[in-house]
Structure 1
Amino acid sequence: MRERVHATYWMETGDDPARTAEVIAGEQSSGTFVALATETPELKQRSGAFVERLEVLETVSGPSLPGARPSDRYTRAILELSWPVENFGPSLPNLWTTIAGNLFELGQVSGLRLTGLSLPPSFTAPFTGPAFGVEGTRALSGVAQGPLIGTIIKPSIGLSAEETAQQVRELVAGDIDFIKDDELQADGARCPFEERVRAVMRVVNEAADRRGRKAMVAFNLTGDLDQMRRRHDLVLREGGTCVMLCLNAIGLVGVQEFRRHSQLPIHAHRAGWGALTRCPALGYDYAPWQQLWRLAGADHLHVNGLRNKFAEADESVIAAARAVLAPIGPDARMGAMPVFSSGQTGLQAAETYAALGCTDLIHTAGGGIFGHPGGVAAGVEAFRAAWTAAAQGVPLREAASGSGALRDALEFWR
């Protein structure tokens, strides 16, 4: 039997749920709003989407989304659809159009959310996926075990290239593992990209000569494809070991094409993710969404952080991180590294470690490092001490008795 892609949805409809499921299946494959003589039973069997499962959950009195067709009750259900791989071939944009295209705006739907995606080997095999992933990132950063202790340059924007380099100087003096540009920092007049890369890498390279390992800096080179290639080549020439892309800004094809050119790990930022997921009755869960970006070539993927400054629940954050680390089907080569961020300090280290069950991650703290009363280097030391305590099962207050930097950090971490 031919292999098929399977997608799972949470669905709400004011119509008969079985009829709505068939409407969605038809819209996303061979059907349209009227019956056509050319859509023969043989064609539907060959190319149509199949309703694999429909599980009714509950009924409610009102619709979750505006514009729903009037009804006296709305039924919520789990819907699983499948498509033959030959409908779209090994194409990420066309797969996405199939599983997450016009179905969200169908009149029969008063709520729809993509919650799961299963891709067969015949679809995933042609994709190279992450070039570095966890193992390659550890090798380039010199961090053989434990999390990569990281930060984001703060203030996010407004510093000059030399002021940014000074921040980096203080960070590497504190033995930081990973530094990233904020997603807002690209190639502005105040801090031009080329000037920033050269200034920062002078500091990083000089420190690497003393330390014996090089801090990994993810420079944000988001732009058009030619710009991103040129910026990558500059980072590579200057001895850099990572670059950053804003996924939703450049799209799947942008990441795929850049991956073909890149010789460095791709740090993937999910800026704009909230618009895709925050409404519980519309959009996507992270688990299916991130699979496509890993297939496109992302090595690191942001997953938010525990007790973050945004609206995401801790359970969702951990589920996202586990999804990033999991194989895509049986394909272990597709593993990437989750990046925890957003309002983070050492206070989240123990919970993060306990929930994830491993240290194959990057944990970034901006204000949690830069706000340390003893300075930036002390902020790095305190953050690392918190993670050491987490891995050893030592309570923070007890660990602080042996670390002045951690003791002082506990006075301002909130």
Structure 2
Amino acid sequence: MERIVAEYLLETPYPPEDVAAMMAGEQSSGTFVRVAGETDELRARAAAEVLSVELLEEAAAPTLHSAYVARKAPPGPFRRARVRIAFPTGNIGRNLPTLAATVSGNLYDIGEITGLKLVSLDIPGSYRARYPLPVHGIAGTRRILGVADRPIFGTIIKPNVGMRPVEIASLVDQLCAAGVDFIKDDEVCANPDIAPLSERVPAVMEVIRNWEDRTGRRVMMAFNITDETDAMRRHADLVRDEGGSCVMASLNWCGLSGMQTLRAHTDLAIHAHRNGFGAMSRHPLLGMGFQAYHALYRLAGIDHMHVHGIGGKFVDTADEVTEAARACLQPLCKGGPADAVMPAFSSGQWAGTLPETLQAAQSHDLMFMCGGGILAHPGGPQAGIASLHEANEVLKAGRSLQDGAIAHKALAGALDFFGAR
């Protein structure tokens, strides 16, 4: 039987084996009591199965409040366990929102549970084949940009909101002149009154087309088309008609079905922004880990995925960023198709964080995006971009950035300015 295996971290004052069985029943064929129609044949075909319960440490108090636990007042302790449950794909079909509801859903609300986090999903290749692959992914993105053997160096439009289309186009012109590969809108700038996509896309794409005509270099611009579904389709069509190659969407606010619809509608690269993921991930015993989260959205057919950055301005540890980047660069399923997506590093990045980034990814198949790291360089955006290229060349030669800065002015300027902060 084809099954998806979900792994959880569980906390409960009750026997973890009993609660794991409850979880499997709640999210498949059963409920809290056996009901009419729940035959042995149906259970054999549709019931989820608890594969393992690995006991971990205990806690004296509950991590999360449960009115059920407060009412029943079990003596404790609060046991923690790593639980693996297999769900038959026949219960789900090709239905991404229902897959998410099956492996998450009401599990977070079960009264006996005082902590639960979905850690990972193991998806069989036969089930993965029901969903689209990335249209561009790593190889296609490199092909569009003509960049073969180094990271994709990019930046974010800053100020992130408030500029008019002509001002945004002027900034894009400066960035194209500086030699940037990739530019993206900020997640809060989608279709604002002051710079609607209907005006912003033509203005920016005229600049990008002009630079391509002059230099032969193509810059990828990820326009933020986050919106309701029909509007996203219209926005994607506008970007395509203007010669664009990429759109961006905020995954958590568009949702799985919105991203599926967008993927089915357009062959543009989809730059997946995970803003809001911290609400799901930051608590160690609540929500969802990155591996499970990104697996769901990879089934929707995205091409790039944000992983934040090492030493940046967000909460992620270096290990968390590393785990996310390496997950993006691996096939989603063992023995499955080559469906890697390009990890996009951002948040407080500059030339000085490139060594740890390359070490984390163990690959140069990544986007390295610097907002202030390019735009705030004391030598201007051109020096900001140059500092990234110089840092990459120095690292390829096996030298430290400090040694390389002696002969590289832009890199030296970055180390002096950003390194002192």
Deviates more, 1:72-81 or 1:121-130: 121-130
- Counterpart CA distance in 2 for 1:264 and 1:355 is 28
Supply the AA of the counterpart residue of 2:66.
G
Secondary structure of 1:372's aligned partner: coil
* Post-superposition offset of 1:261: 1.2
* Post-superposition offset of 1:123: 1.4
Secondary structure of 1:103's aligned partner: helix
* Post-superposition offset of 1:148: 0.3
Within a 5 Å distance, the mapping from 1:337-356 to structure 2 comes to 337-356=342-361
Q: Cα deviation per residue 1:9-49 (whole Å; 9 max; x = unaligned)? A: 11111111111111111111111122224323322221111
- Counterpart CA distance in 1 for 2:141 and 2:2 is 33
Task: Indicate if the aligned counterparts of 2:274 and 2:306 stay in contact, CA closer than 8 A.
Answer: yes
- Counterpart CA distance in 2 for 1:150 and 1:190 is 24
Task: Indicate if the aligned counterparts of 1:353 and 1:390 stay in contact, CA closer than 8 A.
Answer: no
Q: Cα deviation per residue 1:355-406 (whole Å; 9 max; x = unaligned)? A: 2210000010101111111111111111222222233322111111222111
Corresponding residue for residue 190 of structure 2: 186
- Counterpart CA distance in 1 for 2:90 and 2:373 is 49
1:399 aligns with 2:404: yes
Corresponding residue for residue 11 of structure 1: 10
Secondary structure of 2:83's aligned partner: strand
- Counterpart CA distance in 1 for 2:117 and 2:202 is 44
Secondary structure of 1:77's aligned partner: strand
Task: Indicate if the aligned counterparts of 2:352 and 2:414 stay in contact, CA closer than 8 A.
Answer: no
Task: Indicate if the aligned counterparts of 1:350 and 1:391 stay in contact, CA closer than 8 A.
Answer: no
Structure 2: 5+ residue stretches without partners: none
Secondary structure of 2:417's aligned partner: coil
The equivalent position to 1:371 in structure 2, one of 376, 383, 386, is 376
Supply the AA of the counterpart residue of 1:315.
D
* Post-superposition offset of 1:332: 2.9
Secondary structure of 2:389's aligned partner: helix
Task: Normalising by structure 1, report the TM-score.
Answer: 0.97
Task: Indicate if the aligned counterparts of 1:113 and 1:284 stay in contact, CA closer than 8 A.
Answer: yes
Secondary structure of 1:410's aligned partner: helix
Corresponding residue for residue 224 of structure 2: 220
1:149 aligns with 2:159: no
Supply the AA of the counterpart residue of 1:18.
E
Corresponding residue for residue 43 of structure 1: 42
Secondary structure of 2:399's aligned partner: coil
* Post-superposition offset of 1:277: 0.6
Corresponding residue for residue 57 of structure 1: 56
Corresponding residue for residue 285 of structure 2: 281
Within a 5 Å distance, the mapping from 1:112-131 to structure 2 comes to 112-131=116-135
- Counterpart CA distance in 2 for 1:188 and 1:356 is 35
Task: Normalising by structure 2, report the TM-score.
Answer: 0.96
Supply the AA of the counterpart residue of 2:310.
L
Secondary structure of 1:331's aligned partner: coil
- Counterpart CA distance in 2 for 1:351 and 1:393 is 14
Within a 5 Å distance, the mapping from 1:300-319 to structure 2 comes to 300-319=304-323
Task: Indicate if the aligned counterparts of 2:66 and 2:113 stay in contact, CA closer than 8 A.
Answer: no
Q: Cα deviation per residue 1:279-307 (whole Å; 9 max; x = unaligned)? A: 11101110111111111110000001101
- Counterpart CA distance in 1 for 2:215 and 2:11 is 57
The equivalent position to 1:205 in structure 2, one of 196, 203, 209, is 209
Secondary structure of 1:411's aligned partner: helix
Corresponding residue for residue 380 of structure 1: 385
* Post-superposition offset of 1:173: 1.1
- Counterpart CA distance in 2 for 1:5 and 1:142 is 38
How many residue pairs get aligned? The number is 413
Secondary structure of 1:109's aligned partner: coil
* Post-superposition offset of 1:57: 1.0
- Counterpart CA distance in 1 for 2:300 and 2:278 is 21
Q: Which runs of 4+ in 1 moved over 6 A?
A: none
- Counterpart CA distance in 1 for 2:39 and 2:234 is 51
Task: Indicate if the aligned counterparts of 1:325 and 1:335 stay in contact, CA closer than 8 A.
Answer: yes
Task: Indicate if the aligned counterparts of 2:325 and 2:360 stay in contact, CA closer than 8 A.
Answer: no
Secondary structure of 2:344's aligned partner: strand
- Counterpart CA distance in 1 for 2:360 and 2:113 is 35
Deviates more, 1:228-237 or 1:273-282: 228-237
Q: Cα deviation per residue 1:217-271 (whole Å; 9 max; x = unaligned)? A: 0000111222112211111121111111111111111111111111210001011
Secondary structure of 2:305's aligned partner: strand
Task: Indicate if the aligned counterparts of 1:90 and 1:124 stay in contact, CA closer than 8 A.
Answer: no
Corresponding residue for residue 295 of structure 1: 299
Deviates more, 1:99-108 or 1:31-40: 31-40
* Post-superposition offset of 1:125: 1.1
1:195 aligns with 2:199: yes
Q: Cα deviation per residue 1:143-188 (whole Å; 9 max; x = unaligned)? A: 1111100000111111111111111111111110000000111111
Deviates more, 1:107-116 or 1:383-392: 383-392
Task: Indicate if the aligned counterparts of 2:14 and 2:76 stay in contact, CA closer than 8 A.
Answer: no
Root-mean-square deviation (Å): 1.2
1:331 aligns with 2:311: no
Supply the AA of the counterpart residue of 2:96.
L
Supply the AA of the counterpart residue of 1:224.
E
- Counterpart CA distance in 2 for 1:96 and 1:384 is 41
- Counterpart CA distance in 2 for 1:118 and 1:90 is 16
- Counterpart CA distance in 2 for 1:394 and 1:199 is 42
Corresponding residue for residue 256 of structure 1: 260
Within a 5 Å distance, the mapping from 1:80-95 to structure 2 comes to 80-95=84-99
Deviates more, 1:359-368 or 1:56-65: 56-65
